Amino acid sequence: MEGTAGPGTRANGPVPAPSGNQVPPPPGPPLAPEQLEEEQPSSLADVSQMWIKFAKTFAIVFPIYILGYFEFSFSWVLIGLAMLFYWRKNHGSKDYRINRALAFLDHKDTAARQSLPATELPPWVHYPDVERVEWLNKTVKQMWPFICQFVDKLFRETIEPAVKGANPHLSSFCFTKVDMGDKQPLRVNGVKVYTENVDKRQVIMDLQISFVGNTEIDIDIKKFYCRAGIKSIQLHGMLRVVMEPLLGDMPLIGALSVFFLKKPMLDINWTGLTNMLDIPGVNGLCDGLIQDIIYSYLVLPNRLNIPLVGATELARIRFPIPEALVRIHFIEAQNLLGKDRFLGIKGKSDPYGLIRLGTKEIKSKTIKETVNPRWNEVHEFLMYDNTAKMMEIELFDEDPDEDDRLGNVMIDLAELKKEQRVEEWFDLEDGGRGKLHLKMEWLCLLPSPEKLDQALLQIGAKSSSAPDGPSSAVLVVFLDSARNLSRNPLEFNQTGLRKASISKAIKSGKKVTSDPSPMVQFRVGHQSLDSKIKYKTTEPVWEEHFTFLIHNPKNQKLDVEVKDTKHECSLGKLDLPLTRLLEAEDMTLSQRFPLKTIGPSCTLKMKMALRVLSLEKIPTSPSTSTPSSVQVRKSSDPPSPQRPACLRPPSQTSPAPPPPPSRTCPTGGTNRSPQAGVGGGAGGQSLAETGKSKSYLAISGSQQFLNGGKEPTPSIASDISNPYSAQELHQRLQQLPNGSGSSNSPLGSIQLTIRYSTQRNRLIVVVHACRNLIAFTDHGSNPYARLYLLPDKRRSGRRKTHTHKKTQNPKFDESFDFSVTLIELRSRNLDVAVKNSGGLLSRHKGLLGKVLLDLNHEDITKGWTQWYDLTVEGKPRP
């Protein structure tokens, strides 16, 4: 990491103690003038030294003159010499050693000052602030028995199998005893944490450790009758722990680096066969080999790295890139409730929509006085790993006092991710009426510049168009840090400062030069984002990420400006065309960018990535893919052979013959749902006209939207309560040209999709179509489908489709749900009946066929689509 102060650096971190094999530093700079004055004596000092020497000489000669003047014997001279020699013999050597030591210290201090300037001295030279941590030693003492248990398991369960597997001759190797000692042998004598001259994204800590214990580790190789072991271990040294990089998410630390600053003192007492290593001569060689092994792993520049976060996870935390982008075309709605009343008469509404995904909420425009609004808006949401997987769309009627609710739709984004693209009409739930037309796309972010032209073509972007509209790419920016920001805004940014600020500073007489409080502003087109403010610093560290939606990266650029909020001026600017990212490797740039200033060189460290939006897969044809609740497929297609057969044995289900040509005709009114295919070209066509089915990404309400909000006229004779319906159907079967013909499925068949949603605890049933129904009149039948989840036969538990007129091959494509738990569902049956509709007094109404399905099936949560043969009683034919 650039700008990180490693343990071995001097300018940006503590300086480790030099080891014995390091090369001595070169001579430092010359002494300062004041130091030269201290070394060279002045003329006054020379005169003083001369007088001192004269006094010493006089003190020696004058006693001799006194001895001669008073006629003392020569023996007194011999006595004086003997006393002098005796004093020098006992005290002179001590004074000599003291003088040599003082001279050595003076010389060492001078050499240190010459080799290392005072600005580069580590903090402990001036301030010995090593702290005692008795609380840590007490904690280790309390935990020591459990540490011993962990070490014992480590030796026996990890190291012992590894040694046995390393060599066949060591297959009988085992640890007979692993005892770390009953008393705490490990102590931390001092701790120092560095807070100055270190990078802000790391923590450096020095531990003075001491391990002195009666550790006993015995091994036995039974094959060679070899027993050896260790009786005691002593270890003393300075251990450095570096924690970097610091993160904003748990576990807050990316990795640990552990190493000794210099060679630790190690003493091992051997036992058993290895006791021979204590022989003089061999002892030093053995200890030296063991120490070299330890030094090769744990002494600077070697270190033990312990990652706490994986490389992929670390990159994701530091530089999160969205998983995908969800694009929603908020098109239109039909037949909404009229909430505005005038004189008690229902009128129209002023509808608008709210789209919620996670913490983001977007409001559409309001369409005045209509129940069939048309918005034609496009909204985009970025999806991260922790983004909510459900999207809610609510419609409201805007009122001056309180907005009235018109209904909502819940979108399962997991289903959208599978389908990639869905366009259809959704039924409003929670008391709402009407339908909502949406088109949704799940776009993946790819580092593929060759897919950009395709993305631009899909959104209709032109090289000369304004940077508005749907996005073709996403720009992710990680703002790291800045260096060498100016401290004098008047010197380099005179035009950028406010006149009021200048005059105020001049009048007050205060210094304008001071540390700035910088922030960074990013602009792409009309989008603008600001970073946090870092107060009073010339080297701020932000570590923030920003995301921009890009319309056309070929003609857009990223504008970056560093501002000083304290002096209200600009500290530097940067213009980066996005075409540089298109040409970069993996469409990513990570470097220090120079800022445009007229002052000193300022740099801004950033990492940027451009990702192109593209569909991960092209929606396949329904005939070759597995049907699902979101898939756009034709109702006339036969079921996929890979789909589970049905709830009954496969032998009881006849193969589906090719469907006959559709003879359906469109019904009048606005209750027909406009069909939207994958490409969205169907527009307002009816389902019968297009011949396609809807894919229900949202779970519709229990009552399907019908014409005018009313249900079709129900049949008076229920096929469950009145056995006459079954008798009449038997009679009609006998009147068919082929007789009963039960083996040829004379009543036709119905296509159903059945799936259970565990998220919502609902059974989803989609009625797609029927084929080869019997005709009640010469013009055909007026069929509709009725559903019950037995044993519930109440009116509130009934589900019905709308009625198709004069057809024997209707296409319904309607979805229904039943609120039921999965456990309760195992004991329920689904009753589906196809009936002919008629007037209140009409005789052309009755049962066309039934299907009874047992829902106790393991694959019901996965769902399937299948054709089922209609029978009189609903039971499968033998």
pLDDT tens digits along 814-858:
888 888 888 888 888 888 988 888 654 455 567 888 888 888 877
Do 282 and 353 fall into the same domain? Answer: no
Give the mean model confidence (pLDDT) for residues 167-195.
Answer: 82
Do 393 and 517 fall into the same domain? Answer: no
| Cis amide leading into 245 (omega within 30) | yes
Q: Which residue shows structure tokens 């991710």?
A: 417
Joined tokens for residue 353: 């929509």
Do 207 and 349 fall into the same domain? Answer: no
Type of residue numbered 447: P
Do 433 and 480 fall into the same domain? Answer: no
Q: What is the bridge-based pairing of β-strands 421-427 and 435-446?
A: antiparallel
Res. 351: pLDDT tops 60:
yes
Do 144 and 116 fall into the same domain? Answer: no
| 117 is a domain residue | yes
What's the longest Cα–Cα distance across the chain? 174
- Of 264, 261, 267, 265, nearest to 303 (Cα)? 261
Residue 236 — very low, low, confident or very high, per pLDDT cuts 50/70/90? Answer: confident
Number of C-alpha atoms within 13 angstroms, CB side, residue 57?
6
Task: Kindly report which listed range (146-155, 536-545, 738-747) carries the lowest average pLDDT score.
Answer: 738-747
Res. 219: pLDDT tops 50:
yes
Spatial neighbors of 304 by CB under 8 A, at least 6 apart, are: 257, 258, 259, 297, 298
Q: Give the Cα separation of 50 and 589 in Å (integer).
A: 75
Higher pLDDT, 364 or 245: 364
Boundaries of domain holding 491: 474-496+511-614
Task: Kindly report which listed range (508-522, 556-570, 621-635, 839-853) carries the lowest average pLDDT score.
Answer: 621-635
Residue 134 — very low, low, confident or very high, per pLDDT cuts 50/70/90? Answer: confident
| 635 is a domain residue | no
Res. 643: pLDDT tops 70:
no
Give the model's pLDDT for residue 433: 80
Do 711 and 804 fall into the same domain? Answer: yes
Which percentage of the chain shows pLDDT scores above 90?
2
Give the mean model confidence (pLDDT) for residues 428-437.
Answer: 82
Give the model's pLDDT for residue 842: 55
Give the model's pLDDT for residue 195: 78
Do 121 and 139 fall into the same domain? Answer: no
Joined tokens for residue 714: 């129900």
Measured CA to CA in angstroms, residue 600 lies from 479, 697, 861 at distances of 21, 59, 66
Do 442 and 541 fall into the same domain? Answer: no
Res. 672: pLDDT tops 50:
no
Give the mean model confidence (pLDDT) for residues 452-477.
Answer: 78
Give the model's pLDDT for residue 407: 86
Cβ atoms 668, 689 nearer than 8 A = no
Point out the domain boundary residue: 289, 312, 335: 312
Res. 504: pLDDT tops 70:
no
Res. 384: pLDDT tops 70:
yes
Which burial class, exposed, middle or buried, applies to 452 when counting CB atoms under 10 A from its CB (0-12, 13-18, 19+)?
buried
Give the model's pLDDT for residue 762: 84
Number of structural domains (the chain) is 5
Beta strands in 588-632, from DSSP E residues, in sequence order: 588-594, 603-614
- Of 264, 268, 265, 257, nearest to 299 (Cα)? 264
Res. 315: pLDDT tops 80:
no
Residue 158 — very low, low, confident or very high, per pLDDT cuts 50/70/90? Answer: confident
Beta-bridged to residue 753, according to DSSP, are 766, 865
Give the mean model confidence (pLDDT) for residues 180-196.
Answer: 83
Task: Kindly report which listed range (25-34, 266-275, 287-296, 571-580) carries the lowest average pLDDT score.
Answer: 25-34
Do 288 and 378 fall into the same domain? Answer: no
Residue 522 — very low, low, confident or very high, per pLDDT cuts 50/70/90? Answer: very high
Neighbours of 223 (CB within 10 A): 12
Q: Give the Cα separation of 331 and 141 in Å (integer).
A: 70
Give the model's pLDDT for residue 763: 87
Joined tokens for residue 845: 């109404």
Give the model's pLDDT for residue 18: 44
Q: What are phi and psi of 53, to 5 degrees?
A: -65, -35
Do 298 and 323 fall into the same domain? Answer: no
What letter does residue 196 receive in the DSSP assignment?
Answer: S
Point out the domain boundary residue: 92, 125, 158: 125
Q: Give the Cα separation of 869 and 654 in Å (integer).
A: 8
Q: Map residue 492 onto helix, strand or coil.
A: helix
| 7 is a domain residue | no
Res. 663: pLDDT tops 50:
no
Higher pLDDT, 271 or 721: 271
| 27 is a domain residue | no
Give rounded-to-5 percent helix, strand, coil for the chain: 25, 30, 40
Residue ranges in 522-675 assigned as alpha helix (H): 579-583
Give the model's pLDDT for residue 705: 35
Q: What are phi and psi of 102, to 5 degrees?
A: -65, -40
Average per-residue pLDDT for the chain: 72
In Å, how far from its chain's centre is CA 343? 56
Give the mean model confidence (pLDDT) for residues 124-146.
Answer: 77
In Å, how far from its chain's centre is CA 737? 68
| 524 is a domain residue | yes
Q: What value does the CA radius of gyration of the chain take, rounded to a whole number of Å?
A: 45
Most confident of 247-261, 472-486, 662-676, 836-850: 472-486
| 636 is a domain residue | no
Cβ atoms 404, 397 nearer than 8 A = yes
Instruction: For residue range 597-620, list pLDDT tens digits in order.
Output: 755 678 888 888 999 988 865 444
Residue 669 — very low, low, confident or very high, per pLDDT cuts 50/70/90? Answer: very low
Residue 12 — very low, low, confident or very high, per pLDDT cuts 50/70/90? Answer: very low
Do 661 and 800 fall into the same domain? Answer: yes
Task: Kindly report which listed range (32-36, 163-167, 712-716, 864-868) carries the lowest average pLDDT score.
Answer: 712-716
- Show the CA angle centred on residue 666, arms to residues 662 and 671, nearest 5°: 130
Looking up residue 429, the CATH number of its domain turns out to be 2.60.40.150
Measured CA to CA in angstroms, residue 201 lies from 258, 480, 541 at distances of 17, 11, 9
Task: Kindly report which listed range (322-331, 419-428, 599-608, 636-645) carries the lowest average pLDDT score.
Answer: 636-645
Give the mean model confidence (pLDDT) for residues 679-686.
Answer: 35
Residue 277 — very low, low, confident or very high, per pLDDT cuts 50/70/90? Answer: low
| 44 is a domain residue | yes
Joined tokens for residue 482: 């800045």
Instruction: For residue range 770-819, list pLDDT tens digits in order.
Output: 988 888 777 778 888 988 888 888 877 888 888 888 888 888 888 888 88
| Burial letters 692-701, b for 16+ CB under 10 A, else e | bbbbbbbbbb
Q: Give the Cα separation of 561 and 572 in Å (integer).
A: 6
Joined tokens for residue 299: 């002494």
Q: Give the Cα separation of 852 and 867 in Å (integer).
A: 13
Cβ atoms 407, 429 nearer than 8 A = yes
Q: Map residue 175 onto helix, strand or coil.
A: strand
Point out the domain boundary residue: 100, 125, 150: 125
Res. 717: pLDDT tops 50:
no
Higher pLDDT, 515 or 288: 515
Joined tokens for residue 440: 């949704």
Res. 149: pLDDT tops 50:
yes
| 6 is a domain residue | no
Res. 17: pLDDT tops 70:
no
Give the mean model confidence (pLDDT) for residues 491-516.
Answer: 54
Do 209 and 110 fall into the same domain? Answer: no
